Structure 1
Amino acid sequence: MSVGSTYERLLGESQSGGLEHAGGGGAPSPPDPDRLMTQLSDEVGRLEEHLGERADPEARERLMRGAEYALREVVDHGADAQLGMRDVARLEAVVHSDGTRPVLFVEDDFFDVTAPAVATWAAALSRIKAELRTVCRAAGRVNDPSSLLGYQGTAWAIDEGVVVTNYHVLEAISTHPSRTDGQFGGELKPGVAVDFGAEVGGGPPNRVFRISRVLGVGRAGAPERAHPTVPRVNFDGLDLAVLQLDRVSGRPFPTPVEVARGDDEATRGALASRGRKIYIVGFPGSAGSTSPDVFAELFAGVKGVKRLTPGVLTEGRGEVDEDERRWIISHDASTLGGSSGSLVVDLEAEGRKVLGLHFAGVPDRVNWAHGLEGATPELDAAIQGG
């Protein structure tokens, strides 16, 4: 599917039944640029009021001008629309504001209920309020004092004082990293930690834990299986690392989340199926991105804060091309600056089981995660120390 047709579908969803249509209820209506531009402008104004911070006027002008151009390009040319990375970034801002695939600030371990863009998803998210709070508390920012932004991605609690992230995030917070047979070679940088607060406005204090050691890592993929067009992506490998955190006296670790397992007799390892509604909790993870966080250009105070983004699994286990191990799934939730290491959580049923570990994406809204039902033995081995 082309970039143009992807955004033509997404931008038409809010006019054609929104969340209900996301499961496949007929063709979306053509996007309405005037309505979408009004919603984008309103969202910027709402954020100014909510954050108590004025948007950078030059960045706002660039956003509005670029978004209108990109919208007209999609409306006029559909699948043949000519869209560069900056155009896609502007379309991402539109999608975030119109309610199709919103990006919601996490505040007090819950989503920003004041955001108009949440309307389409509010009922589904509110039904799992307790579970969603547990997931939000369990997601932390991987702090790296030596990096340009001060952080590298996301990690999340899978056991008492144990977190999961991507191997490529571990590489970024290490010196001389390497891996062999599930064992990590290298040294952690000084001061690296996981901050389970890091919400807009500062968030809850006293939720930072230093990373003490690496328990285990996923296997490297065979070099000949490297993705032909996306650098550093290899579906034959497992982009996973399990890290131990240091205890802090009087400071409890967050409650671990529950992970869907491939050996679960009740689900038979088939929860991560095409069309299933999901949500992701994580942080923008890099200065560059396939889909830059335009709102972070407008508001300095929203860089590196916890976000929740709902969406749909576009491919289940065994459906992704070149995934011979059946441990890749894809989704269309907004992932901002990569959101490396974010957890992909089931929004249906109990709304609490982690289905995947987000690790990569490309500009036409193909986002990949490791389907953890397909990697149960490897994840168990990493938690146990390789």
Structure 2
Amino acid sequence: MSSRSPVATDPAQVFDDLAAVAARIRDRLNAEITESAEDLPDGADGAAAPAGEISRFAREERDRVLAAGARGLEKLAEGREDEIDEDEYFGVEAIVLLEGRPALLVQGQDFATPTDDWAVLDGHRAPIRESIARVGRVEVTGHPSLDWVGTAFLVGPEVVMTNRHVAAEFTRSDGNSGWVFRPGMTARVDTTEELPLAGTAPGDGSFEYEVTGVLGIHREADMALLRVAPTARGGGSLPTPLAVAAEAPADLPGRPVYVIGYPAWDGRRNEPESMRRIFMDIYNVKRLQPGTATELIADELTMKHDCSTLGGNSGSPVFDLNDHRVLGLHYGGRYRSGNFAVPLWAMVEDTLPGLSEVNWV
């Protein structure tokens, strides 16, 4: 099957039993209770209110796409790939993204119970929550067009790691091998920025770190290290840093991993309207994104993975699900190709200022 999805993953590599996944999708669709038009709130003229119509249409579109995907999976399971039409291809990709490579919302520094294929995450809930608490959104003031620019994570007692291209949005070279803030700009790392739980207020800033300086920005790897301190509202001390892998893991291809970050709407990926409806246009908030490591390209200092990331994930950590060490620094993806990260164990002996402060384990 030719993949068009952002993760570029063959369904047979994602799911152990394609027919079983198709049956599960069909059972779920059959179990849903579809609201009738009489159940929707009425407008002044007796017609269904626009909000109710939008909700109903979004649900119907989602169900239509998933039903087509179930048909496509059944044909794949029966060796009838040549019979799959465009709607079924798209539906299979949607199922891969929703079931096989989901982007789970983080709320209250926790995540919802995952689907059957990622039920293993429940057994790792405590360490994953520890990981979640040490990843934040890089927010800026004084930028001409952006409120936030990517993701960062705590790797040392007062050090966060992110991408060079993220840091470049609010810093510049001082001409003497150093980096300084751009005039009129400041930055902070907010470790919440979640979709609020029903009945709760947005974060109050108590989980923010102020970026106080630049330790180092790598010339080749897309990496930056920033000095941070608790904000006045946050107070107290920073949590213990994440453990960063000091050696290569065994058997990297196929190794289960997860990314934590802030996927943003990214028009470069040209997502179809129906895909936007599947994800309900919820972007810019914290998510847990499981997947697998797929390849190491040592001469390009790149580890590939297939987690479902978008633009705002720049600077996200890629965790080993087995021991929760940070294996990689996510720096980008290519539609229909996969996602890329700096393999951090390859940086242990690097001379970049600040790397000696990283919690190598």
Task: Name the structure 2 match of 1:364.
Answer: 336
Task: Name the structure 2 match of 1:166.
Answer: 163
Task: Name the structure 1 match of 2:149.
Answer: 152
> Residue 244 of structure 1: CA displacement?
1.4
Q: Secondary structure at the match of 2:194?
A: coil
- Tell whether 2:136 aligns with 1:140: yes
Task: Name the structure 1 match of 2:240.
Answer: 255
Task: Name the structure 2 match of 1:309.
Answer: 289
One-letter identity of the residue aligned with 1:376: V
| Partner Cα distance (2:148, 2:340) in 1 | 21
Any conservation in 2 of the 1:15–1:29 contact (CA below 8 Å)?
no
Distance change (3 Å), C-alpha of 1:142 and 1:292: farther
> Residue 359 of structure 1: CA displacement?
0.8
What is the alpha-carbon root mean square deviation over aligned residues?
4.2
| Partner Cα distance (1:252, 1:239) in 2 | 28
Aligned runs of 1:306-345 on 2, under 5 Å?
A: 306-315=286-295, 317=296, 320=297, 323-325=298-300, 327-337=301-311, 339-345=313-319
Structure 1 residue runs of 5 or longer lacking an equivalent are 17-27, 46-52, 220-236, 263-268
Q: Secondary structure at the match of 1:127?
A: helix
- Tell whether 2:202 aligns with 1:206: no
Any conservation in 2 of the 1:179–1:217 contact (CA below 8 Å)?
no
One-letter identity of the residue aligned with 2:283: K
> Which of residues 185, 191, 205 in structure 2 aligns to 1:190?
185
Distance change (3 Å), C-alpha of 1:247 and 1:68: same
Task: Name the structure 1 match of 2:39.
Answer: none
Q: Secondary structure at the match of 2:10?
A: helix
1:148-193 deviation digits (Å, cap 9, x = unpaired): 563221100011231111111112x326x45989743662762422
| Larger displacement relative to structure 2 (134-143 or 75-84) | 75-84
Relative to the length of structure 2, the TM-score reads 0.72
Relative to the length of structure 1, the TM-score reads 0.68
Distance change (3 Å), C-alpha of 1:252 and 1:185: closer
Distance change (3 Å), C-alpha of 1:185 and 1:143: closer
| Partner Cα distance (2:318, 2:209) in 1 | 23
Task: Name the structure 2 match of 1:217.
Answer: 217
Q: Secondary structure at the match of 1:344?
A: strand
| Partner Cα distance (2:193, 2:349) in 1 | 32
1:218-263 deviation digits (Å, cap 9, x = unpaired): 11xxxxxxxxxxxxxxxxx30011111233342432331010014x
> Residue 15 of structure 1: CA displacement?
5.8
Task: Name the structure 2 match of 1:245.
Answer: 228
Aligned runs of 1:83-102 on 2, under 5 Å?
A: 93-98=94-99, 100-102=100-102
| Partner Cα distance (1:42, 1:144) in 2 | 45
- Tell whether 2:254 aligns with 1:275: yes
| Partner Cα distance (2:195, 2:31) in 1 | 20
| Partner Cα distance (1:378, 1:179) in 2 | 22
| Partner Cα distance (2:335, 2:70) in 1 | 16
Distance change (3 Å), C-alpha of 1:332 and 1:140: same
Bigger Rg, structure 1 or 2: 2
Distance change (3 Å), C-alpha of 1:342 and 1:363: same
Q: Secondary structure at the match of 1:199?
A: coil
| Partner Cα distance (1:289, 1:41) in 2 | 35
> Residue 206 of structure 1: CA displacement?
0.9
Percent of paired sites with the same residue: 28
1:282-332 deviation digits (Å, cap 9, x = unpaired): 1114543537595588646x33111101111111x3xx3xx525x211111
One-letter identity of the residue aligned with 1:136: I
Distance change (3 Å), C-alpha of 1:347 and 1:182: farther
